[in-house]
């Protein structure tokens, strides 16, 4: 068994003294003052004098090591003993080789796949507790905010598509009813007592729908009267032929 230690640094590699000092002040206020969190780099030390962490690079693995507590890019803050691992040094080296393949440098993301995420996974495989929540809380909060924004945007687009589709269906439905109504009214004599099919259901127009029907679709009373006057003449003609 051997101890697993977590080394934590203030992120002060911006290249600007003012920015670096601001980050240090933020970490003092939000971590030291109220225990919320801050902007930190972390690395894990197990078996030996080196610590292991993860960072960005264009090619190859992002997993790297340096002498414990002496990363030149950051300002050292503190060490936390996470526990002891039962794994052998050979097994730990095997885990590091696996992580080196699984964590290429070009997949680094400040919010969703940074050095703290790497250390969490490394500790999990070593069988010791993960990092304290405050170490990566700012990154997790930012990643959650981005995810919520993306999800909201997707749902908004889906809702917009559904509204447009529903509008099209409603329009086609109303247009079909109007067309059928016009065709029925254009069939002269269809509603006369001799030709009406009592078994055929008819569309009962509500008052609001009548405004959608064109004025020309109403049946002509003069045409109906003419047809009614022609019926006796047709009957007389048929009797003379008999």
Within 8 A by CB and 6+ apart from 212, the residues are: 174, 178
26, 12 in Cβ contact below 8 A? no
Task: Given the residues 57, 66, 79, 115, select the one marked as catalytic.
Answer: 115
What kind and span of H or E run contains 234?
Answer: helix 221-241
Annotation says 117 is catalytic: no
Tell the residue number behind the tokens 């993960």, with chain if given.
Answer: 130
Annotation says 41 is catalytic: yes
Tokens of 88: 């052998």
CA distance 71 to 61: 18
Task: Given the residues 41, 117, 119, 123, select the one marked as catalytic.
Answer: 41
| Among candidate residues 128, 127, 131, 102, the one with its CA nearest the CA of residue 43 | 131
Tokens of 107: 């997949």
202, 190 in Cβ contact below 8 A? no
Tokens of 3: 């101890």
Provide the annotated active-site residues: 41, 115
């Amino acid at each position: 068994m051997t101890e697993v230690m977590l080394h934590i640094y203030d992120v002060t590699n911006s290249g600007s003294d003012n920015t670096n000092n601001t980050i240090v002040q933020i970490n003092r206020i939000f971590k030291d003052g109220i225990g919320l969190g801050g902007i930190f780099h972390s690395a894990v030390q197990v078996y030996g004098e080196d610590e292991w962490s993860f960072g960005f690079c264009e090619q190859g693995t992002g997993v790297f090591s340096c002498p414990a507590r002496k990363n030149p890019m950051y300002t050292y803050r503190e060490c936390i003993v996470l526990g002891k691992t039962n794994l052998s040094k050979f097994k730990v080296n095997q885990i590091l080789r696996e992580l080196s393949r699984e964590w290429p440098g070009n997949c680094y993301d400040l919010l969703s796949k940074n050095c703290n995420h790497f250390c969490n996974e490394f500790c999990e495989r070593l069988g010791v507790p993960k990092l304290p929540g405050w170490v990566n809380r700012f990154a997790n909060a930012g990643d959650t905010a981005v995810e919520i924004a993306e999800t909201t945007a997707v749902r908004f687009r889906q809702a917009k598509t559904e509204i447009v589709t529903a509008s099209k269906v409603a329009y086609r439905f109303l247009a079909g009813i109007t067309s059928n109504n016009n065709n029925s009214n254009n069939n002269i004599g269809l509603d006369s007592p001799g030709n009406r099919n009592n078994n055929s259901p008819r569309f009962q127009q509500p008052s609001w729908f009548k405004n959608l029907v064109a004025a020309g679709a109403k049946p002509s009373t003069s045409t109906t009267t003419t047809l009614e006057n022609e019926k006796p003449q047709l009957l007389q003609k048929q009797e003379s032929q008999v």
